Amino acid sequence: MNERACRVCKRLIEEGNECDVCKSNDLTTNWKGVIVVFSPDSEIAKKAGIAVPGKYALQVM
Ligand SMILES: [Zn+2]
Protein backbone atom coordinates (compact mmCIF):
# COMPACT_ATOMS: atom_id res chain seq x y z
CA MET A 1 0.00 0.00 0.00
CA ASN A 2 1.55 3.25 -1.03
CA GLU A 3 -1.48 5.43 -0.66
CA ARG A 4 -1.06 8.21 1.83
CA ALA A 5 -3.54 9.32 4.43
CA CYS A 6 -4.31 12.89 5.43
CA ARG A 7 -3.40 13.46 9.08
CA VAL A 8 -6.17 16.02 9.44
CA CYS A 9 -9.27 14.24 8.06
CA LYS A 10 -7.84 10.71 7.37
CA ARG A 11 -8.79 10.73 3.71
CA LEU A 12 -6.66 8.42 1.53
CA ILE A 13 -4.85 10.28 -1.22
CA GLU A 14 -3.84 8.34 -4.34
CA GLU A 15 -2.22 11.17 -6.25
CA GLY A 16 -0.63 14.51 -5.56
CA ASN A 17 0.61 16.02 -2.33
CA GLU A 18 -2.56 17.63 -1.10
CA CYS A 19 -5.72 16.31 0.52
CA ASP A 20 -8.77 16.69 -1.80
CA VAL A 21 -11.04 17.43 1.12
CA CYS A 22 -9.27 19.72 3.56
CA LYS A 23 -6.35 20.86 1.33
CA SER A 24 -3.82 19.88 3.95
CA ASN A 25 -0.42 18.66 2.76
CA ASP A 26 0.19 16.80 6.00
CA LEU A 27 0.08 13.27 4.52
CA THR A 28 1.50 10.05 5.91
CA THR A 29 2.10 6.48 4.70
CA ASN A 30 1.82 5.37 8.31
CA TRP A 31 -1.84 4.36 8.57
CA LYS A 32 -3.98 1.25 9.11
CA GLY A 33 -7.34 0.00 7.90
CA VAL A 34 -9.70 1.42 5.30
CA ILE A 35 -13.20 2.84 5.61
CA VAL A 36 -15.11 3.35 2.37
CA VAL A 37 -17.85 5.94 2.69
CA PHE A 38 -20.50 5.97 -0.04
CA SER A 39 -22.85 8.42 1.57
CA PRO A 40 -22.22 11.08 4.21
CA ASP A 41 -25.63 10.18 5.67
CA SER A 42 -24.57 6.60 6.43
CA GLU A 43 -24.06 5.38 9.97
CA ILE A 44 -20.33 4.82 9.44
CA ALA A 45 -19.75 8.31 8.02
CA LYS A 46 -21.58 9.95 10.93
CA LYS A 47 -19.60 7.88 13.43
CA ALA A 48 -16.29 8.81 11.80
CA GLY A 49 -17.32 12.44 11.20
CA ILE A 50 -16.89 12.14 7.43
CA ALA A 51 -18.81 14.57 5.21
CA VAL A 52 -17.36 13.71 1.78
CA PRO A 53 -17.72 10.20 0.25
CA GLY A 54 -14.50 8.31 -0.46
CA LYS A 55 -11.82 6.16 1.11
CA TYR A 56 -10.48 6.95 4.54
CA ALA A 57 -7.93 5.41 6.89
CA LEU A 58 -9.29 3.83 10.03
CA GLN A 59 -6.24 4.82 12.03
CA VAL A 60 -3.51 7.35 11.27
CA MET A 61 -0.33 7.05 13.28
ZN1 LIG B 1 -7.64 16.01 4.73
pLDDT for position 61: 92
Cα 19 to middle of ligand 1, angstroms: 5
Cα 42 to middle of ligand 1, angstroms: 19
Rama region for 29: left / alpha / beta (φ>0; ψ in -120 to 50; rest): alpha
pLDDT for position 1: 55
User: What are the pLDDT digits (tens) for 17-45?
Assistant: 999 999 999 999 999 999 999 999 999 89
Cα 24 to middle of ligand 1, angstroms: 5
pLDDT for position 34: 95
Q: Is the pLDDT of residue 9 over 70?
A: yes
Give the CATH number of the domain where residue 42 resides: 2.20.28.90
The pLDDT of 49-57, averaged and rounded, is 95
* Domain count for the chain: 1
